[in-house]
Amino acid sequence: MSKSFKIGVKIYSADWFLNYKLSYKEAARYLRSWGIDFVLVQSRLLPMPDSAVKSEVDADEAARYATFDDRKFRDALAKEGIEYWATVCAFFAPPEIEKNPALRPIGSDGLPMEKFDWYIGIAPTADDFVKKQISAIENAVCILEPDGVFMSFTRWPGFWELWTPEKMPKDFSEYSFDPHTLKRFARENKIELPDGSAKKIALWIEENANDIWIKWKSQIIRDILLQVKKASQAIKPDTKIMLNTLPFGKEDFDNAREEVFGQDVELLSEVVDVFEVMTYHQILRQPTSWIPETGIEVKTRTKSETFCTLQTAPLYLEDIYAEGKRTTSLNYEEFEVAIKGVKDAGIDGVVLFTWSELLYKAIVEKDERWEKLLCAMAQ
C-alpha cells in the first residue's frame, strides 16, 4: 500500500457470499471499484464469534458456507491489488470459556467476569490458550499467505465500549486477578504477594506495586504480539502486524488504555507495523472532530502507520445500553465529515466498519453516495 491515504474495510461476515451471492471475483471487483486498498477479514481458519456485529453462520447457511474457499477469495483480492489481512480475535472466545471455566478472568472486585451482552474476555496470561491461538495463526498464514495479521481483542479484558464520557475508571473492574496471572506476576517480578482473596491482592498491588503491574501487563501484550510476528514471518517473511487499538489517549480515563488494558502504544510500536484505532464516535458519544484527534495522538506517539476506523451505522441501541444515551442515527453527511476530517488531518487512512453495512446501502437501499465518496477519497 503506497498511497498517501488508504481505505480499508472490515469483512466480519460472509453475507456477501451467503446472502448477496457474489462470486470471489465479483466481490473483489466491487471492493476495487469503491477504492478499497485492504480488507480485514474473518476466515474459516480463524472464525469469529458474534460481537457487536453478526459474524457467525446460521445453521441454514452452513451448507453453502461449507463450500466457501478463503484462499480463492484471497487470490481474487490480490488480482485486484487489494491487500488481505487475516483477522484474529486474540482474547475473545466465549466458547473456550464454556469449555474451560478457568479461563474466566477475575476482577479487582474479586468476582469472576460475567458475560455482558456478547462480550467476555480472556486474560493474556492463559498460556495454553495463547499457544492454541498462535498455532491457528500459523496454519492460516501457511494456507492464506496474507499480507498481514490483524490482531483484534489483543488487550486485557474489559468492555471498553461502555466507557462513555460521564464514566470514571472506578466504575469498572480491572482484570485479571486470577490465580495463574497473580502467580506469574509474582514470579516474573520477584514480588511476594499477600495471602487472601483476589480483591485483597488487587488492592495490595494498587497500593504497593501498581507501576510494576502496569508495565508488566503492557509487556505481556508486547510479547504476545512479538510471538505472533515471529511465527508468521517464519512462514511468510514479509507478514505485517496490525493492532486493534483502543481509542483512549493518555489523558483519557487516567490513561486507561495503558494502565487498565495494557496497550502502551509506544512500547507496542516496537512490534506493531500498523495501528488501527477504533474511533467509534457514535458508540463513545464523541463528536466527529474527536476522530482525527485520537488518530493523530497514536500516530504522533508511535511514528507508525495509523488508521482510524469509522462506523457506517449506529450501534449499541438495545435496551441494555439505554444508559449510554447514544444517538440512534449516523447519516451520510456525518460520515462524509468524518472521513474528510481524517484525510485532512494527515492520518494514513481509514477502516470502514463494516462492509456488510455498505453492501446494504448499495444493493438494498440503492444509495450510491457512499460509493462515490469513497472513490473520491481514494484519489
pLDDT tens figures, 174-188: 999 999 999 999 999
Q: Is residue 274 part of a domain?
A: yes
Tally of CB atoms within 10 A around 165:
10
Number of domains in the chain: 1
pLDDT value at position 47? 93
- Summarize the chain as % helix, strand, coil (round to 5): 45, 15, 40
pLDDT tens figures, 103-120: 999 999 999 999 999 999
pTM of structure: 0.96
Give me the residues of the chain with pLDDT under 70, please. Answer: 1-2
One DSSP character per residue, 41-92 reads E--SSS-----SS--SPPGGGHHHHTT--HHHHHHHHHHTT-EEEEEEETT-
pLDDT value at position 60? 81
Q: Is residue 90 part of a domain?
A: yes
CA proximity to 84, closest of 135, 51, 36: 36
Q: Is residue 247 part of a domain?
A: yes
pLDDT value at position 24? 96
Q: Is residue 78 part of a domain?
A: yes
| β 305-311/274-277 pair status | parallel
pLDDT value at position 2? 57
CA proximity to 167, closest of 379, 323, 327: 323
Q: What residues make up the domain containing 326? A: 6-377
Given a contact cutoff of 8 angstroms between Cβ atoms, the answer to whether 274 and 302 are in contact is no
Q: Is residue 41 part of a domain?
A: yes
pLDDT value at position 189? 98
* CATH number of the domain enclosing 141: 3.20.20.80
Q: Is residue 1 part of a domain?
A: no
pLDDT value at position 3? 76
Given a contact cutoff of 8 angstroms between Cβ atoms, the answer to whether 295 and 277 are in contact is yes
pLDDT value at position 57? 84
